[in-house]
């Protein structure tokens, strides 16, 4: 059972809307409602000016009690980069169709806002992943992922050679289109599409899933959360490029010999989860038929 931490009645909220403008009506309604309840509302400074809400930069979240993402899972992940960095709970209101991570649907937006104002929300910890790219003695990049990090070929489709170690032990040299390392929260994202396992929230582990492996014997592997995963880009050694992408948002071009290191991050994401079990979410989102007792 995951530990839940109650969120006191909010007095200041940051609303992070999806970037295509389709959240604007919901955003304006949320700002109007929260302000009427005496709640201060801010939006990211890159969002167009919203009447009743002040713009704020990511480093200026000291007094924010809750971050609300208006959109799908992608929007929630972008908002989570702000939330996790500042140690603030994040709540997702889904404006799309699927949405594994969001707690409420568009039609329940007012219900969600009222719960925040009344102090009826709670957050659960979700494991995050630290991802580094090393080129010789140089630390080329350092990112934190809520969902996943994957290595994949560039514009020229080529099988990559990815030598993979787990906690100092060589596991495999994958010959594949790419390789995904995912958190339990990310197991329902690219990992699921690539045939990887669905991992229940709260499980302390990371999953390694090859993308279209050349060998049929290569299968997804689940490793303990205290593991250090080291992936060396070992080929091909021609002009074909490979890229590391973190949460579908940050990409780093890799060169032959570059090392990608993945470990569990020290601080979890504080996520307001759906009000039903993960299995109910899966049954609803994936169309599973549970049958009758």
137 among known catalytic residues: no
List the beta bridge partners of residue 206: 223
Q: Provide the 10 A C-beta neighbour count for residue 32.
A: 13
Choice among 65, 73, 148, 247 that is catalytic: 73
Name the phi and psi angles at 202, rounded to 5.
Answer: 90, -15
On the CB side of 144, how many CA atoms lie within 13 Å of its CA?
Answer: 17
Q: In this structure, is the dihedral angle defined by the CA atoms of residues 111, 34, 60 and 43, taken in order, positive or negative?
A: positive
Q: Look-up: residue for tokens 């080291």?
A: 230
What residues contact 111, with CB distance under 8 A and at least 6 apart?
104
Angle at 74 between CA 99 and CA 88, to 5 degrees: 95
8 A C-beta contact, residue 50 and residue 26: no
The residues that are catalytic are 73
């Amino acid at each position: 059972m995951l530990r839940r931490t109650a969120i006191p009645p909010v007095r200041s909220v940051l609303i992070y809307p999806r970037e295509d403008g389709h959240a604007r009506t919901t955003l304006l309604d949320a700002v109007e409602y929260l302000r009427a309840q005496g709640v201060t509302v801010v939006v990211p400074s890159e969002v167009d000016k919203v009447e009743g809400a002040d713009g704020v930069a990511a480093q200026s979240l000291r007094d924010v009690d809750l971050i609300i993402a208006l959109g799908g899972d992608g929007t929630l992940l972008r908002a989570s980069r702000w939330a996790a960095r500042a140690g603030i709970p994040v709540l997702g209101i889904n404006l799309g169709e699927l949405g594994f991570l969001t707690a409420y649907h568009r039609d329940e937006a007012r219900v969600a806002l009222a719960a925040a104002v009344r102090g009826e929300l709670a957050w659960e910890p979700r494991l995050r992943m630290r991802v580094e790219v090393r080129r010789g003695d140089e630390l080329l990049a350092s990112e934190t992922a809520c969902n996943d990090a994957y290595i994949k070929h560039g514009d020229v489709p080529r099988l990559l050679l990815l030598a993979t170690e787990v906690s100092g032990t060589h596991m495999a040299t994958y010959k594949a289109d790419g390789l995904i390392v995912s958190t339990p929260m990310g197991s329902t994202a690219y990992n699921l599409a690539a045939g990887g396992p669905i991992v229940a929230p709260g499980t302390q582990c990371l999953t390694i899933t090859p993308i279209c492996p050349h060998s049929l014997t290569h299968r997804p592997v689940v490793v303990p959360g205290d593991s250090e995963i080291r992936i060396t880009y070992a080929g091909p050694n021609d002009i074909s490029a490979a890229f590391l992408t973190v949460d579908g948002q940050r990409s780093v071009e890799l060169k032959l010999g570059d090392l990608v290191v993945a470990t569990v991050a020290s601080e979890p994401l504080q996520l307001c989860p759906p009000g039903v079990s993960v299995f109910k979410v899966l049954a609803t989102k994936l169309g599973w038929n549970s049958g009758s007792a």
